[in-house]
C-alpha cells in the first residue's frame, strides 16, 4: 500500500483544480507547492503520505512525484486510480479524495448511484430515508411499518423508492443549477447552521450513518440550490388553456361554483344540533343492536324538541358533540363546510324550524335553524378567492405533471445509474428509524 501511496501523493494531488488540463512539469511543481495542503488523500481509510515523497517498487524502480510521458505531465487522478483498480470518491465537504480497494469502503462511503458526473454516497441516501421515515410516522404513526400492501410491496419498499426518487431529483437539479451558475445569496445562507442543527436533531442515527454536521450542511446547501432550479423549471412550464379547462371540469368544487354562483356559497346559516353518536369510544361503529337503541333515544328527544321543550337544555342533556356543546350545540357555516346530509338539512329549514332525524357518518342529528344569514360582500369575495385557489391548484398540478415529464428526460440525459445490489442491502427501519 505504501508504494501506491507515494505514487498517488506524488503526481495526483492537484487534479480537481486542474480539471484535466495539460500542464508542463515545472508548472505542476508550482501548483503542488501551493495546493498540497488544501487536499487530503485517503487510501482504504488511511491518510496517504505527503506529496513529493517517492517510493520504490518491488521491481526496484522508484516512483517519482509526477507522471511524465513525452515531456508532458498528466494528472488525471480518477482515471489513473481506476486503472490501478481503486475506487475514487471526492468529498467536497472535507476536501478529501477517498481512494479505496473495491469492496473496502464502509457502507456510508460506498457509492449508491452515479448521476451525471457525480458519485452519490450511501450516507446521502440515508438522509433522505430518515426524512421519509419521519414523514411516514408523523402521518400514519409508528405502526405504519406493520401494514401490508398490495402488489407484493411493503411500506419500507415505498419509503425506499421515495427516498431514491428524491435523491435523484435533487442531484439532477443541483447539477443544472451549478451549470447555470446558480449560487445561494448571502441572505439565503443566514441561519443555515440552525437548520443543520435541527436536521441533525431529527436524525438520531446520524453518527451511525456517517452524517456529520459538515456533510449535513453541504446537503442542506445542495437542497436549497436545487430548489432554485426547480422553481425556474416550474415557472417556465406553459399551461395549455384547453387542458386547464378540461381539468377544471373534473373538479366538483369548481363546477359547483360555476353552476350555483358566488351568492349560493356565500350564504350562511346559524344552527344548533343534538348529536347521538353511532360510534364507540375508539371510533368503531356500533353494532346494529346498539345503533337501534341510539336511534330510539334520538326519536324520543326529537319528539320533545318538536313539542317545544328548550332546545339548548336538550343539547346540554343529550348531545355527544364535544365541538359544539360549549356553544349550546351552535355552528355558523356556509355550504361546503359540513358533511353533505347535515348541510342540506340545515339549509332546507326555515328559521325556528326543527329537522327530522338526519343520519351522517357521525350518528343521528336533530337540527334547529336559528338564523339564515344573507351573504356579505366579504363572504362573496371569499368564495371568489376559493375559486381562484382551485384554479391555481389545478395549474400547479399541471405544472407538476410537466415537471415529472421533464425529469424523466433528464434522468436519461444525466445517465442516472443506481447500484441496485447495494440498494438491496439498505434497510429502512434498521438504519433510519428512531429507536
pLDDT tens digits along 288-330 = 999 999 999 999 999 999 999 999 999 999 999 999 988 999 9
Over residues 217-228, the pLDDT tens digits come to 999 999 999 999
pLDDT of residue 320: 96
Q: What is the largest CA-CA distance in the chain?
A: 113
pLDDT value for 222: 94
Give the residue with greater pLDDT, 37 vs 198.
Answer: 198
Q: To which H or E segment does residue 88 belong?
A: strand 87-91
Q: Is the pTM of this model over 0.85?
A: no
Between CA 24 and CA 42 the distance in angstroms is 26
Candidate CATH numbers 3.30.360.10, 3.50.4.10, 3.40.50.2300, 3.10.50.40; the one for domain 268-373: 3.10.50.40
- What pLDDT shows up at residue 63? 44
- Domain spans, the chain: 2-105, 118-238+421-432, 268-373
**Higher model confidence: residue 160 or residue 31?**
160
Q: 101-150, pLDDT tens digit by residue?
A: 665 446 787 899 999 989 999 999 999 999 999 998 888 888 888 787 77
Q: Looking at per-residue confidence, does 306 or 91 come out higher?
A: 306
Order the strands of the 268-277 sheet from edge to edge: 330-334, 268-277, 363-373, 358-360
Q: If residue 32 lies in a helix (H) or strand (E), which one and from where to where? A: helix 25-35
pLDDT per residue as tens digits for the range 244-276: 999 999 999 999 999 999 999 999 999 999 999
> How do 40-43 and 96-100 pair as beta strands?
parallel
Amino acid at each position: 500500500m505504501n508504494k501506491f501511496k507515494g505514487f498517488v501523493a506524488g503526481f495526483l494531488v492537484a487534479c480537481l483544480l486542474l480539471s484535466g488540463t495539460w500542464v508542463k512539469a515545472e508548472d505542476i511543481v508550482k501548483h503542488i507547492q501551493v495546493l498540497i495542503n488544501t487536499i487530503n488523500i485517503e487510501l482504504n481509510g488511511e491518510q496517504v503520505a505527503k506529496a513529493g515523497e517517492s517510493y520504490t517498487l518491488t521491481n526496484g524502480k522508484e516512483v517519482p512525484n509526477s507522471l511524465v510521458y513525452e515531456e508532458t505531465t498528466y494528472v488525471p487522478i480518477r482515471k489513473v486510480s481506476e486503472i490501478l483498480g481503486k475506487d475514487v470518491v471526492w468529498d467536497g465537504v472535507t476536501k478529501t479524495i477517498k481512494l479505496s480497494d473495491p469492496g473496502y469502503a464502509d457502507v456510508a462511503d460506498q457509492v449508491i448511484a452515479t448521476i451525471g458526473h457525480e458519485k452519490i454516497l450511501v450516507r446521502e441516501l440515508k438522509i433522505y430515508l430518515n426524512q421519509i421515515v419521519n414523514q411516514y410516522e408523523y402521518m400514519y404513526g409508528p405502526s405504519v411499518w406493520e401494514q401490508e400492501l398490495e402488489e407484493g410491496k411493503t411500506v419500507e419498499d415505498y419509503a425506499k423508492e421515495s427516498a431514491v426518487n428524491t435523491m435523484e431529483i435533487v442531484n439532477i437539479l443541483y447539477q443544472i443549477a451549478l451549470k447555470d451558475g446558480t449560487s445561494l445569496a448571502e441572505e439565503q445562507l443566514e441561519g443555515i447552521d440552525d437548520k443543520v442543527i435541527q436536521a441533525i436533531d431529527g436524525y438520531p442515527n446520524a453518527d451511525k450513518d456517517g452524517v456529520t454536521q459538515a456533510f449535513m450542511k453541504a446537503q442542506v446547501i445542495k437542497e436549497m440550490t436545487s430548489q432554485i432550479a426547480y422553481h425556474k423549471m416550474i415557472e417556465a412550464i406553459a399551461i395549455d388553456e384547453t387542458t386547464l379547462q378540461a381539468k377544471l371540469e373534473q373538479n366538483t368544487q369548481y363546477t359547483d361554483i360555476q353552476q350555483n354562483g358566488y351568492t349560493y356559497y356565500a350564504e350562511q346559516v346559524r344552527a344548533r344540533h343534538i348529536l347521538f353518536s353511532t360510534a364507540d369510544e375508539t371510533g368503531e361503529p356500533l353494532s346494529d343492536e346498539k345503533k337501534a337503541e341510539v336511534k330510539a333515544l334520538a326519536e324520543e328527544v326529537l319528539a320533545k324538541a318538536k313539542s317545544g321543550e328548550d332546545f339548548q337544555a336538550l343539547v346540554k342533556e343529550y348531545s355527544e358533540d364535544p365541538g359544539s356543546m360549549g356553544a349550546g350545540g351552535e355552528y355558523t357555516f356556509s355550504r361546503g363546510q359540513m358533511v353533505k346530509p347535515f348541510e342540506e338539512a340545515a339549509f332546507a329549514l326555515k328559521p325556528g324550524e326543527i329537522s327530522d332525524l338526519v343520519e351522517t357518518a357521525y350518528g343521528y342529528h336533530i337540527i334547529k335553524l336559528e338564523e339564515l344569514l344573507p351573504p356579505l360582500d366579504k363572504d362573496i369575495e371569499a368564495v371568489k378567492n376559493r375559486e381562484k385557489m382551485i384554479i391555481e391548484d389545478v395549474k400547479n398540478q399541471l405544472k407538476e405533471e410537466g415537471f415529472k415529464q421533464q425529469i424523466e428526460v433528464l434522468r436519461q440525459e444525466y445517465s442516472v445509474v443506481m447500484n441496485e445490489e447495494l440498494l438491496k442491502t439498505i434497510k429502512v427501519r434498521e438504519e433510519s428509524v428512531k429507536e
